[in-house]
Amino acid sequence: MWKKLIFICKRIFWTPERYARSVGVQIGKNCAIATFGFGSEPYLIQIGDHCQITTGVKFFTHGGGWVFRSKYPDFDTFGKIIVKDNVYIGNNSLIMPGVTINSNVIIGAGSVVTKSVQSGKIVAGNPAKIIGDLDDLEKRLIPYNLNTKKMNYLTKKTFLLSVKDEMFISK
């Protein structure tokens, strides 16, 4: 009972990063962690430097063993998850056991990552597939860079409402 109460308090009052570290997730420097979804073996997850893990992302370090337990009662398999440096994982993505996400990668929102991802790639979908290259995306986005990152909310709002439509991404 106490363990459950402590768990609930941590999830309510601690930041997701502090919670993740407390349960054994290895996290590098300058990360932005916004999820509590580190599963039942969080100590099998490593996150590198300068990574953003957004809301609703879930990491799975095991699964599927249930169907074999009538034949093998203690059946369990596991896979470590490694997220290297400079990675963005979009909202509600699922990262499956044994996956390595190499450096300089974007995972699109809602993706199911079932295989390791090469450096410099953009992947999305279910299952996640390569949809682009980070260098190509950079070239396409540079003309739209509005340099608002250090603006406060009101300054940014005023600025964005004054910008011509051509400066916004359009699809």
> What distance in Å separates the CA atoms of residue 30 and residue 85, rounded to the nearest whole number?
10
pTM of the model: 0.90
Residue-wise over 41-78: b if at least 16 C-beta within 10 A, else e? Answer: bbebbebbeebbbbebbebbbbeeeeeeeeeeeeeeee
Which listed residue (50, 62, 80, 156) is catalytic?
62
Per-residue pLDDT of the chain (171 residues; tens, 9 = 90+): 777 787 777 777 889 999 999 999 999 999 999 999 999 999 999 999 999 999 999 999 998 889 999 999 999 999 999 999 999 999 999 999 999 999 999 999 999 999 999 999 999 999 999 999 999 999 999 999 999 999 999 999 999 999 999 999 998
62 is catalytic: yes
